[in-house]
Structure 1
């Protein structure tokens, strides 16, 4: 049995972390049996972040490493219908979601006051005093420094939204008229795409990025389709 250790659900999505939702969606796409262990402190993970899984007594962290390890050890067939170009395309989609659009999501949740005022009580409201007065500001400061180092934190709102629009348009164009990013059936890229897009489109958070994502009908329909098929 696979144990998935992740944050609790919030904001009307199974997980407010795109990476946690990515891994759990992958487990569902593959039809694997698993159980969830809810954690609040990412420092308990082997790499100091969530999600991580326990598999055969081994702790495995990082969503990309988790998916790769499960695919190899369990010989999962999720991507077998893809040719070499399809596998390359799936990896490019995954990287776009994990390594660029994700940081824009963080930007509008943590750096912009509109998003911050929505996530602060949910993420930190359960802390005891005086931690609930100290930790949120420290966490936000650390996120601001991390995004500045990553690069996107150096841009203003309009520049960040322009990047986001380009990413979302690319995903919409890559999806086209297909039901999934894997074509007529899902592939591993759908786990990453849904983990991110559900947190923009189906999530109850209301930020400029969430509103922008909901302007792409193909991506809205995609999220609803995958939710209804694998999360009903």
Structure 2
């Protein structure tokens, strides 16, 4: 049986990481037998991050690599899509994973109101006497990475404006059909919906979380994907 190494459930979601949710969605749609195994410290994993899929042969890191392997085993997440739709799907995935995701991370890790919730959820295995120092050091590293990525070089108003453009693009697809590419979930939904869900699940009601909560189209879409692909 395949084993998905994943961050534990957090804030009411299958996992604290939308990429782990994406991998679980793919496994569920693939028809493969699989189980989850939770962990908080990925430093010994390939790429030092999660998700990782354990097969009989190896540990497979990264949700895109997991997708390619599942497709090599017969899964088809974009069945029936035209080449243009597949190109649109790839663009939506990259927009969500390379832009929206980092906006979510900044909204959480840079916010002093959100941070205590993250610290006590993601670092609860660390003894309390050392938790503040260890988690604080990791937080500084994450914030430094966000600065290098560039997302935190914008003001909050500028960041929200950039997010708004992404959300407008996503909503344009959802006026046409229940899922991004039609009547059933495809690969774009497996990336976009978990990131929107993670934003909505932020444990403090930030402006970004409120933006998703107030949007009936996006909120219904998140719930629709979750209902269409029921995770264990």
Please report the TM-score for the alignment, with normalisation by the length of structure 1.
0.93
Cα deviation digits, residues 130-170 of structure 1 (max 9, x gap) = 42021111011001110000000211211111111111121
**1:63 corresponds to:** 63
1:44-77 C-alpha deviation (Å, 9 max, x unpaired): 2111001110123211101111112211x21212
1:114–1:133 CA distance, 2 compared to 1 (3 A): closer
Offset of residue 126 of structure 1: 3.0
CA distance in 2 between partners of 1:172 and 1:138 (Å): 38
Q: SS of the counterpart of 1:10?
A: coil
Aligned length: 231
After superposition, where does 1:217-232 map in structure 2 within 5 Å?
217-231=216-230
Asked if 1:12 corresponds to 2:17, the answer is no
CA drift at 1:111: 0.7
Match of 2:141, SS? helix
- The separation in 1 between residues aligned to 2:201 and 2:135, in whole angstroms, is 25
Structure 2 unmatched runs, 5+: none
Moved over 6 A (4+): none
Aligned partners of 2:113, 2:173: CA distance in 1, in Å?
30
Cα distance in 1 for residues equivalent to 2:67 and 2:117 = 31
Cα distance in 2 between the residues matched to 1:79 and 1:19 = 18
Matched residue, 1:127: 126
User: Matched residue of 1:42: which SS?
Assistant: coil
Aligned to 1:178: 177
Query: Does the CA contact (< 8 Å) of 2:30 and 2:70 recur in 1?
Result: no
**For the aligned residues, what is the CA RMSD?**
1.6
**Take 2:20 and 2:156, find their aligned partners in 1: how far apart are those partners?**
26
Aligned to 1:114: 113
> Which residue pairs with 1:54 in the alignment?
54
Structure 1, unmatched stretches of 5+, are: none
Relative to 1, partners in 2 of residues 1:19 and 1:205: Cα closer, same or farther, differing over 3 Å? farther
